[in-house]
């Protein structure tokens, strides 16, 4: 047992991948629920003999070995687990106390415990009953790209051939004046793009899902992906419904154009010069967000994608075949193509650039656009949240001065904007706890419109400052608000 890893877990506390269990002389059923949820998600570590708050109490030394045997017997019992699991718990000592460590790797299958499927959401084991959510879990476990699925009965007449002249022009311009697609026939162009292929499992040839999504006629897309659409909304005045709405159900090439025009209509285009070239920060940010939600979406899912513009933020969210769970930063950014054929097609026509460059551009130009960096969150539903501030205006000279250590108006504006955003979120959390002391972190995330990690950061700061207190553990406990009317600022 790596004691340094254990001590670090005690410092961090329970997370989506760390779980503490009291465990007297027996293993409770909720431990097996966590095993199931970790297996279905991205894996994790369970420590028996630790309270929810990180206090090490240990397990009875004479009971540790029987507990391990009972655990192994339970996870190998097909009446309890389907499919069964094989794990090797480890008994170890920490400050003269006996503990048990169970490492649960992410499984290649979806598991159930007592005929119930569990998923890990933030720090909780959640029972999954919705058919769409269960389907998304199976999608996450797939080792194939669903965009490659061949549809042998899709014919030439089912595709928008009228788009190919424009496609050739876009590819030519993007390549600097010459592109292979100019000289190829329509069918050879699609073969070159990987959109017509052979299914090596069935031996059948045909157009694949990528071809249908990129160039399919609307009625064909509707037949193959009946839940596909992108809902674009503006909620600045009428926040309960919307000020403007666009429902996009066409092919991806035209979907991008429609969504981009919608963004340009409702977002301010601020003046910015980089070197000697004027750049549209609005266009750069909107383009990267929209391309991402179209290019990396999991199209076999029934989850409806969204592009929403609000007063102080805009965001996109779409179904995703997640590689891990949590925020994406420049430090942990590891680009992974969710739909490599669609991504390659977009790069050829200039809608996107090399893999990973879009996120880096978002972090750079998103902050220049509003003064605050965007948030990326990887999960079964992928989200990009870009804060908005119409009053913010980037000043290159003042920015240069601030980098030398001076304080300027823009940096003060950025700081004030970030502070106001944080204060608004803080107040939403305090109000939510006052109305419902049993509110969960997941519910707070939905109420505030921030990630689960953002909620965790807020709760930690509010607890340290004495504004709130947690009474009891994560399960069965509740929150108390202290001095809401006169908060410390």
CATH of the domain at 11: 3.30.950.30
Domain limits for position 189: 146-224
What is the per-residue pLDDT for 275? 77
**Domain shared by 234 and 212, yes or no:** no
Q: Hey, what are 264's tokens?
A: 């340009």
Q: Which of 384, 388, 351, 385 is nearest to 368 (CA)?
A: 388
Does a structural domain hold residue 243?
A: yes
- Asked whether residue 138 is domain-assigned, the answer is no
The domain total for the chain is 4
Give the pLDDT score at 411.
45
Domain assignment present for 393: yes
Q: Classify residue 301: in a domain, yes or no.
A: yes
Residues 460 and 315 in one domain: no
The verdict on 241 and 319 lying in the same domain is yes
Mean pLDDT by groups of 10 residues along the chain of 489 residues? 85 88 88 93 91 91 92 89 88 93 87 92 86 80 79 94 95 89 90 84 86 97 94 93 95 97 94 84 95 92 92 94 80 77 91 79 92 90 93 62 44 53 82 89 81 76 86 78 57
In a domain, 410, yes or no: no
- Residue 316 contacts residue 306 (beta carbons within 8 Å): yes
Residue 374 lies in a domain: yes
Q: Do 107 and 172 have their domain in common?
A: no
| Sheet-wide strand order for 97-104 | 18-21, 44-48, 97-104, 90-94
- Of 73, 96, 129, at which residue does a domain stop? 129
Q: Which H or E element spans position 47? A: strand 44-48
Collapse the DSSP code of 332 into the 3-class scheme (helix H, G, I; strand E, B; otherwise coil) and give the result: coil
Q: In the prediction, which pLDDT does 46 show?
A: 95
pLDDT of residue 33: 94
Q: Which two tokens stand for residue 352?
A: 């996107």
Domain boundary residue among 403, 427, 456?
A: 403
Indicate which CATH number applies to the domain containing 264: 3.30.565.60
Q: In terms of domains, do 160 and 277 share one? A: no
On whether both 257 and 326 belong to a single domain, the answer is yes
CA distance 47 to 58: 10
Q: What is the pLDDT of residue 419?
A: 62
- How far apart (Å, rounded) are the C-alpha atoms in residues 200 and 156? 21
Same domain, 156 and 256: no
So what's the pLDDT on residue 210?
94
- What's the CATH code of the domain at 470? 1.10.10.10
Residue 111 lies in a domain: yes
- Residue 404's pLDDT is 44
Q: What pLDDT does residue 204 have? A: 82
Domain membership flag for residue 137: no
Residues 24, 122: one domain? yes
Instruction: Say what the pLDDT of residue 406 is.
Output: 41
220 and 257 fall within a common domain: no
Judgement on whether residues 378 and 299 belong to the same structural domain of the protein: yes
Instruction: Write the CB contacts of 5 (distance below 8 Å, at least 6 apart in sequence).
Output: none
Q: pLDDT at position 398, please?
A: 47
Last residue of a domain, one of 190, 224, 258: 224
Looking at residue 452, its pLDDT comes to 67
- Same domain for 439 and 370, yes or no, is no
Same domain, 257 and 211: no
């Amino acid at each position: 047992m790596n004691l340094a890893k254990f001590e670090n877990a005690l410092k961090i506390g329970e997370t989506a991948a760390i779980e503490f269990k009291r465990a007297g002389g027996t293993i409770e059923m909720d431990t097996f629920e966590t095993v199931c949820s970790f297996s279905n998600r991205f894996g994790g570590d369970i420590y028996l003999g630790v309270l929810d708050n990180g206090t090490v109490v240990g397990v009875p030394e004479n009971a540790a070995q029987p507990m391990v045997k009972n655990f192994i017997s339970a996870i190998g019992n097909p009446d309890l687990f389907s499919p069964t699991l094989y794990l090797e718990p480890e008994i170890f000592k920490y400050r003269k106390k006996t503990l048990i460590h169970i490492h649960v790797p992410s499984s290649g299958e979806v598991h159930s415990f007592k005929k119930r499927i569990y998923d890990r959401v933030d720090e909780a084991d959640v029972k999954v009953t919705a058919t769409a959510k269960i389907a998304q879990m199976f999608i996450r476990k797939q080792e194939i790209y669903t965009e490659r699925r061949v549809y042998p009965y899709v014919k030439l007449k089912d595709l928008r051939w009228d788009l190919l002249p424009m496609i050739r022009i876009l590819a030519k311009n993007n390549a600097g004046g010459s592109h292979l697609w100019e000289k190829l026939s329509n069918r050879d162009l699609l073969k070159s793009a990987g959109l017509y292929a052979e299914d090596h499992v069935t031996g059948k040839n045909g157009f694949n899902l990528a071809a249908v999504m990129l160039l399919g006629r609307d009625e064909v897309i509707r037949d193959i992906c009946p839940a596909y659409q992108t809902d674009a909304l503006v909620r600045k005045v009428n926040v309960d419904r919307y000020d403007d709405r666009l429902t996009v159900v066409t092919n991806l090439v035209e979907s991008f154009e429609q969504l981009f025009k919608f963004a340009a209509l409702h977002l301010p285009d601020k003046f910015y010069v980089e070197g000697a070239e004027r750049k549209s920060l609005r266009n750069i940010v909107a383009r990267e967000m929209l391309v991402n939600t179209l290019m990396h979406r999991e199209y076999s899912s029934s989850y409806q994608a969204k592009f929403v513009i609000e007063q102080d933020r805009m965001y996109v969210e779409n179904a995703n075949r997640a590689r891990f769970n949590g925020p994406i930063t420049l430090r942990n950014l590891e680009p992974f193509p969710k739909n490599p054929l669609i991504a390659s097609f977009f790069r050829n026509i200039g809608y996107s650039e090399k893999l990973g460059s879009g996120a880096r551009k978002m972090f750079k130009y998103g902050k220049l656009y509003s003064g605050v960096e965007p948030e990326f969150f990887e999960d079964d539903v992928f989200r990009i949240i870009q804060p908005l501030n119409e009053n913010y205006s980037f000043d290159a000279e003042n920015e240069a001065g601030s980098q030398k250590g001076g304080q300027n108006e823009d940096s003060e504006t950025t700081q004030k904007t970030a502070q106001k955003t944080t204060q608004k979120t803080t107040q939403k959390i305090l109000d939510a706890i006052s109305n419902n002391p049993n509110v969960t972190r997941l519910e707070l995330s939905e109420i505030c419109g921030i990630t689960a990690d953002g909620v965790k950061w807020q709760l930690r700061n509010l607890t340290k400052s004495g504004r709130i207190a947690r009474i009891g553990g994560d399960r069965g406990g509740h929150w108390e608000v202290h001095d809401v009317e006169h908060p410390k600022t």
